[in-house]
């Protein structure tokens, strides 16, 4: 599991496969916003964790530190009372900055409920 308290608070689980890890956020009432729909903050938090997980996999350097610079989240569909999955993709890995995208889905990755773009600062030791 991801050793970050906030990821534990969201109950995030990790599915390793080909490519970047898929993070799974189980549904519970602690993720709800307006009745019947997931809160945008919970979806955004999951997307950010997925982006970071993709970056850390690609960095493959346990001593590297990261810091989010910004995030832009687009919400495409309402998140229902279901588990939500998210996966990040590093679009550019520089020496100091990584550009990372992530999508979140419930039914299939072809029908994302939200997408994020992040700029993340990297400090390698």
Write out the residues near another protein by the rule CB under 8 A: 3-6, 8-10, 29-34, 37-42, 44-46, 48-49, 67-75, 78
- Give whichever of 19 and 80 is closer to another protein, judged by the CB atom: 80
Instruction: Please report how close the Cβ of residue 89 comes to another protein at its closest, in angstroms.
Output: 19
Instruction: Please report how close the Cβ of residue 19 comes to another protein at its closest, in angstroms.
Output: 23
Q: Give the separation between CA 16 and CA 64, rounded to whole angstroms.
A: 21
- Give whichever of 4 and 19 is closer to another protein, judged by the CB atom: 4
Q: How is residue 96 annotated by DSSP?
A: S
- Which segments of 5-95 are extended strands (E)? 13-15, 22-25, 65-75, 84-93
Instruction: Please report how close the Cβ of residue 18 comes to another protein at its closest, in angstroms.
Output: 27
Q: Give the separation between CA 20 and CA 43, rounded to whole angstroms.
A: 18
SS3 category, 91: strand
């Amino acid at each position: 599991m991801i050793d970050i308290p906030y990821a534990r608070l969201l109950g995030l689980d990790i599915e390793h496969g080909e490519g970047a890890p898929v993070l799974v956020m189980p549904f519970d009432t602690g993720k709800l916003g307006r009745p019947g729909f997931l809160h945008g903050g919970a979806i955004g938090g999951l997307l950010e964790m997925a982006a970071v997980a993709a970056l850390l996999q690609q960095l493959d350097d346990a001593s590297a530190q990261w810091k989010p610079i910004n995030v832009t989240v687009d919400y495409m569909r309402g998140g229902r009372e279901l588990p939500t999955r998210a996966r990040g993709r590093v679009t550019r890995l520089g020496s100091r900055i990584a550009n990372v995208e992530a999508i979140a889905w419930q039914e299939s990755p072809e029908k994302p409920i939200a997408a994020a773009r992040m700029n993340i600062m990297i400090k390698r030791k």
